[in-house]
Amino acid sequence: MAKMITRKEFLKAIGCGATALFWASTGFGFPGKENQKYKSIKGEIFTGDAPERPWRWSKEGFYYETVGDTVQCQVCPNQCVLEPGDRSICRSKVNIGGKLYSLAYGNPCSAHVDPIEKKPLYHFYPRSLIFSIATTGCNFRCLNCQNWEISQKKPEEVRFFELFPEDVVRETKKRDIPSIAYTYSEPITYYEYMYDTAKLARNAGLKNVMVSNGYINHEPLLKLCQYLDGANVNLKSFEDDIYRSLNGGTLEPVLNTFKTMHREGVWFEMTTLVVPTYVDKPEMIKRMCGWILKELGPDHPLHFIRFHPNYKLTRLPYTPIDTLEQFREIALKAGIHYVYIGNVPGHEGAHTYCHNCNKLLIKRTGYYMPDFNIEEGRCKFCGTLIPGRWT
């Protein structure tokens, strides 16, 4: 007879390999589709269900090293060292019997159909839809996290539904959607799930998009880039001290991610959330734009996003709109061709203007685009090639 166990008992059980645990789901639905709803999920423990796996939704990690029963994860720069039963910083990896397992494989807690502009991606097949999935977990501890309800949770702490890589591809194709996004939380923490899904998706003719903090080691990123078509990566600041205090990470690995994706030909756009008192120094933005131009060139769009008080920074105010406008002007004057303002409905900084003739190319009202003046990737007015993925 199945019985409920605590999270502590769960970790103890899988740490010694005594039991196999899985959650029984009655189905799944997608909020983007009418008349479908999430179904409840109950945690139960069973023995002898899948002897090759300690948990139904688990998979051995792709990148880790072992010394005796101790493992060290090699996916991200945290490089967590775990004794049997220990959990990684991202809360998704566990040392089970001297092997590293992801507990987030095939069990997304979120699945939505989104407009591509929501990621945000403004130069990647605009006006298309994208099938978005997320599991729990993040390798950062951002004080300003907007999705902390899932990013700061363990896989077994939220309701989820079974959706393995082949299921993700099938559901995307069934809805005639051209792309899959790994998003909402931090996809680097469910790297194995993302990689396997992306590989199947590429073979099925689908595009893959990663929305990420970019905190990943070189070898796993290089392998992923084989199947990655687009990305939006957060450039949270341009000072290491801010990364450490605000996000719990460091700057250099993120910069390396940008350079690697640029070399590998992955289309990406950059997002900087302008957090008051942390990321609101014009001089830092000038240095950041200088680095972008030197290392990446002028063509990758940069999004400055308005901060809304949330999570552990509710004491701070909203970002002043004039600060966002000032930063946009700094970036444009520095030479970055496409600079956007986000989270400010109706602002002209959400529109796309040709970097050559300055004519309006795309007018955005929310996710609606009444004016669209790009034809076969070129400005309709002057014929200039507009960087991005258009057709």
Determine what percent of the chain falls in helix, strand and coil, rounding each to the nearest 5.
25, 25, 50
- The whole-number pLDDT of residue 7 equals 39
**Cβ-based neighbours of 220, under 8 Å, separated by 6 or more:** 62, 63, 74, 75, 76, 191
Mean pLDDT of the chain: 88
pLDDT number for residue 41: 26
How many other C-beta atoms are found inside a 10 Å radius of the C-beta of residue 294?
8
User: Cα(340)–Cα(349) distance, rounded to whole angstroms?
Assistant: 5
Any domain includes 46: no
Structural domain contains residue 194: yes
pLDDT number for residue 391: 86
Assigned domain for 38 exists: no
Query: Residue 13 region, left (φ>0) first, then alpha (ψ -120 to 50), else beta?
Result: alpha
Q: Is residue 30 one of the residues assigned to a domain? A: no
Q: Looking at the domain assignment, is residue 313 inside a domain? A: yes
We report the CATH number of the domain holding residue 324 as 3.20.20.70
Residue 278 lies in a domain: yes
pLDDT digits (tens, 9 = 90+) for 325-381: 999 999 999 999 999 999 999 999 999 999 999 999 999 999 999 999 999 999 999
Contact 29, 35 (CB under 8 A): no
For the chain, residues with pLDDT lower than 50 are 1-51
pLDDT, residue 56, reads 86
- Within a domain: 386: no
**Predicted pLDDT at 23:** 25
**DSSP structure class, residue 343:** S
pTM: 0.87
pLDDT (0 to 100) of residue 25? 28
The whole domain housing 200 covers: 110-379
Q: Are 237 and 251 in contact (CB under 8 A)?
A: yes
Tell which phi-psi region holds residue 233, choosing left (phi > 0), alpha (psi between -120 and 50) or beta: beta
d(CA 334, CA 223): 33
Residues 249, 251, 253, 256, Cα dihedral to 10°:
160
CA 142, CA 312: separation in Å to the nearest integer?
Answer: 9
Helix (H, G, I), strand (E, B) or coil at 189: helix
Token pair belonging to 210: 């990663």
The answer as to whether 150 is a domain residue is yes
Element (H, E) at 271: strand 267-274
| Counted domains in the chain | 1
Pairing of strands 230-234, 207-212: parallel
Give the pLDDT of residue 337: 98
